[in-house]
Structure 1
Amino acid sequence: MRAGVGMRLWGMIRKESLQILRDPSSISIAFVMPVVLLFLFGYGVSLDAKLIPVGIVIEQPDTASQSLAGAFDRSEFFNPRRFDTIQAAEQALNQRLIDGIVWLRNDFSSRLLSGDEAPIGVIINGVDSNQANITQGYIQGTWLAWLDHYAESRGQALPMPVSLEQRVWFNAALSSRWFLVPGLIAITMTLIGSLLTAMVVAREWERGTMEALMVTPLHRIEVLAGKLIPYFVLGMGGMLFSVALAVWQFDVPLRGSFWLLMVSSALFMLVALAIGLLISIVAKNQFVAGQMAIIITFLPAFILSGFLFDINSMPGWVQFITHLVPARYFVAILQTLFLAGDVWPVVLGNMGALLIMLLLFFTLVWRKFHKRLE
């Protein structure tokens, strides 16, 4: 009896494996798509603000004003352009040639030397509020660093009531690549698990082979296992390939345990497979199943998982919805394992949420899938 079950299951697995090998799109989604996405986000997309174009307006050039302008020239964050008048700089700002203006009026040096307040005019393009805040912070930081150097060169103590000593943990270089690439692994696994599996049962209905499966001695669990195991192996292979690219191509550190990464990835892959299979059972049409998989799994994983947008910055009701997105928990696990290490409270808490989702979706799959015509 056990040998018969094993043979039937092996036959089902072999059938689905051959189907995968005969379908170039499955291999492309599992191995080509991760490469495209990783290279696109790793090299083409950056959240780092560097070489920000700013205009420098000096109404009365002298030693102090030229020294401050030189601080912007030497900064890795700015690509400054000199303008003779504020009107010319404002015109360049209106034409989107620069993102900000640093305006040193004609009394800047005299007020600075007299010990009086020497205000600097700063005008920033606020169309992109996030970029505007970053630009404002970098301008203020450059100004304060120059002011400290200026006071030191004159043998004066800069009256600063607070001394800031900052230390950045986990991503000292503040590289957005280290933040994006681990989260992107969750996006690719969502594509592999949900999108491909969403068309498994629907394909059987469209081709008329579901009736043939129903008259076989295969048990319901053997059909489900036979369909899921090949895609699980395919998804884990894509995950390993993505991790290898992240570590060796993009130099993202993996500070946590590799085996803990494997276990959490396997858990998330099972959740994605269960969701895809549930969609496939309900839809019974490949096109509809594919569209549902994109809307239900891929788009929420891309927008609401914390991969690209900070969840804490979202409205409260949207933050509540993110708890229904499995990728949210896996992205948190990936970013923790890659950048911080084995932080067990974070990893175990998110794995617990994924386990609950796994039980829920497999229960729904078991109740919805029947070996009979309806």
Structure 2
Amino acid sequence: MMPEFLMRFRALLKKESRQLIRDKSSLAIGLLLPVVLILLFGYGLSFDLSNGRVGVVAEEPSPQSRQLMSGLQGSRYLSAQQYSNYPEAVAAIKNDEIDAILVIPATFAADSAQGQAHLQLLLNGRSTSIASAMQGYVSGAIAATSAIQAERQHAGAPAAMVTVEQRMWFNESSNSTWYLVPGLIVLILTLIGAFLTCLLIARERERGTLEALFVTPVRPFELVLAKLAPYFVIGMIDIAVCLTASYFLFDVPMRASMLAIFSASLMYLLVSLLLGLAISGYSSSQFQASQIALLASFMPALMLSGFVFDTRNLPMAVQAVSHVLPATHFMTLIKTLFLGGDDWALWLKECGILMIYVIVLAAASARSLKKQLR
């Protein structure tokens, strides 16, 4: 029994490997597209704000207001521009020329001497992430300027002053690249895995080559294994490329062991490949298979896996859908492994769920072929 299986599997594997090598488009998708995606999204996608534009309106110029303006201009995250009046600054923020308006009242100098100065900060809410970052940068620059001014005047700190010492765990540099790159690995494996295999069976069905297997003793499960094996090797190369780029190009820490990261990635790669193969088995054409693969794999992984949005903020019904997606489970696991370190309890839980997907999708793929081979 086993020698017969090995003979059939070796013949099928030889056929699928030759077909992959001859198909230049599949090789390009499998080997070149991951490099393009990791470089494009890794360098081009960022939630950080490096050049916040703030307009300053001083109702009555004073040494204190000029010092505050200098403090804003001295921040490497901000570019400050002074406006002569408030309507001019409002027009600038409406035209998207600045991201915030800082209003310095006429009583700022007198109030500063009494330790009760107030400022008004108006933020452009078109982008909540930019507005939140601007609020933090401007507040930090104002606090630093006030501390310098108090030190120069040899003034004691106000009695009600509270100093907050902040620490950020897991992403101490507060760099969004550390958050994004592990998620990009999920998206790349989802896209590459599903699209590499979603056309396999549908393409053979269109070309008529699938019928040649009907008269052979090949079993559906053997055909599934043979079709997966070459693309699994391509996927392993893609994982190595992604991990290498993460560490050497984007300086993302890998605090977990390579065994945990690579094994979890291989498990999810297998899920993605089987998902594409199942879609291909039940599709009547390559166009239909590609459209279903896009809607069933990449788009949900992008929108509902936690890559961009925290799933806890979504409605309960959408949360339920997100937890059905294998990408959601791998997203949680890979980010924890990259930034938090080894968590074998979480690894066992999430990889166990992924293994269930492997079994279900493998059975579905074999079933889609079994009907054709009877």
Please give the TM-score of this superposition, normalised by the length of structure 2: 0.94
How far 1:45 sits from its partner (Å)?
1.5
Look up the match of 2:353.
Answer: 353
Contact 2:213–2:373, Cα closer than 8 Å, also in 1? no
How far 1:213 sits from its partner (Å)?
0.8
Look up the match of 1:370.
Answer: 370
Contact 1:17–1:230, Cα closer than 8 Å, also in 2? yes
> Are 1:191 and 2:191 counterparts?
yes
Once the two structures are overlaid, the 10-residue window that deviates more, 280-289 or 118-127, is 118-127
Look up the match of 1:280.
Answer: 280
Once the two structures are overlaid, the 10-residue window that deviates more, 352-361 or 201-210, is 352-361
Look up the match of 1:251.
Answer: 251
Indicate how the Cα distance of structure 1 residues 347 and 148 shifts in structure 2: closer, same or farther if over 3 A, else same: farther
Look up the match of 2:214.
Answer: 214
- Secondary structure of the corresponding residue to residue 164 of structure 1: coil
Q: Which runs of 5+ in 1 are unaligned?
A: none
Instruction: Give the Cα separation in 2 of the matches to 1:16 and 1:120.
Output: 69
Look up the match of 2:30.
Answer: 30
Instruction: Give the Cα separation in 1 of the matches to 2:27 and 2:71.
Output: 52
Partner AA of 2:262 in structure 1: M
- Secondary structure of the corresponding residue to residue 369 of structure 1: helix
How far 1:96 sits from its partner (Å)?
0.6
Look up the match of 1:336.
Answer: 336
Contact 2:183–2:335, Cα closer than 8 Å, also in 1? yes
Contact 1:100–1:125, Cα closer than 8 Å, also in 2? yes
Look up the match of 1:118.
Answer: 117
How far 1:322 sits from its partner (Å)?
0.8
How far 1:160 sits from its partner (Å)?
3.9
> Are 1:54 and 2:54 counterparts?
yes
Contact 1:51–1:79, Cα closer than 8 Å, also in 2? yes
Look up the match of 1:45.
Answer: 45
Alpha-carbon displacement from aligned partner over 1:130-182 (angstroms, at most 9, x marks no partner): 32233223322332333333334332123346442211111111111111111
Indicate how the Cα distance of structure 1 residues 314 and 161 shifts in structure 2: closer, same or farther if over 3 A, else same: farther
Instruction: Give the Cα separation in 2 of the matches to 1:317 and 1:145.
Output: 46
Contact 1:31–1:241, Cα closer than 8 Å, also in 2? no
Please give the TM-score of this superposition, normalised by the length of structure 1: 0.94
Instruction: Give the Cα separation in 2 of the matches to 1:253 and 1:165.
Output: 24
Partner AA of 1:355 in structure 2: M
How far 1:286 sits from its partner (Å)?
0.7
Contact 2:181–2:246, Cα closer than 8 Å, also in 1? yes
> Are 1:134 and 2:133 counterparts?
yes
Alignment of 1:150-161 (within 5 A): 150-154=149-153, 155-160=155-160
Instruction: Give the Cα separation in 1 of the matches to 2:119 and 2:210.
Output: 74
Alpha-carbon displacement from aligned partner over 1:193-221 (angstroms, at most 9, x marks no partner): 11111111111110111111111121222
Look up the match of 2:146.
Answer: 147
Look up the match of 2:100.
Answer: 100
Alpha-carbon displacement from aligned partner over 1:212-253 (angstroms, at most 9, x marks no partner): 111112122211111111111111111111111111122212
How far 1:103 sits from its partner (Å)?
1.0
How far 1:51 sits from its partner (Å)?
1.2
Partner AA of 2:227 in structure 1: K
Contact 1:58–1:84, Cα closer than 8 Å, also in 2? yes
> Are 1:14 and 2:14 counterparts?
yes
Partner AA of 1:219 in structure 2: R
Instruction: Give the Cα separation in 2 of the matches to 1:237 and 1:284.
Output: 30
How far 1:276 sits from its partner (Å)?
1.0
The alignment covers a number of residue pairs equal to 373
- Secondary structure of the corresponding residue to residue 230 of structure 1: helix
Q: Which runs of 5+ in 2 are unaligned?
A: none
- Secondary structure of the corresponding residue to residue 49 of structure 1: coil
- Secondary structure of the corresponding residue to residue 323 of structure 1: helix
Instruction: Give the Cα separation in 1 of the matches to 2:320 and 2:71.
Output: 45
Alignment of 1:245-324 (within 5 A): 245-324=245-324
Instruction: Give the Cα separation in 2 of the matches to 1:232 and 1:66.
Output: 63
Instruction: Give the Cα separation in 1 of the matches to 2:234 and 2:142.
Output: 53
- Secondary structure of the corresponding residue to residue 370 of structure 1: helix
Look up the match of 2:109.
Answer: 109
Instruction: Give the Cα separation in 1 of the matches to 2:267 and 2:139.
Output: 46
Alignment of 1:219-258 (within 5 A): 219-258=219-258
Instruction: Give the Cα separation in 1 of the matches to 2:329 and 2:310.
Output: 13
Instruction: Give the Cα separation in 2 of the matches to 1:317 and 1:309.
Output: 15
How far 1:55 sits from its partner (Å)?
0.5
How far 1:297 sits from its partner (Å)?
0.2
**RMSD between aligned residues:** 1.8
Partner AA of 1:113 in structure 2: A
Contact 1:48–1:175, Cα closer than 8 Å, also in 2? yes
Contact 1:202–1:285, Cα closer than 8 Å, also in 2? yes
Contact 2:104–2:119, Cα closer than 8 Å, also in 1? yes
- Secondary structure of the corresponding residue to residue 57 of structure 1: strand
How far 1:265 sits from its partner (Å)?
1.3
Instruction: Give the Cα separation in 2 of the matches to 1:111 and 1:372.
Output: 84
Contact 2:194–2:293, Cα closer than 8 Å, also in 1? yes
Instruction: Give the Cα separation in 2 of the matches to 1:160 and 1:30.
Output: 61
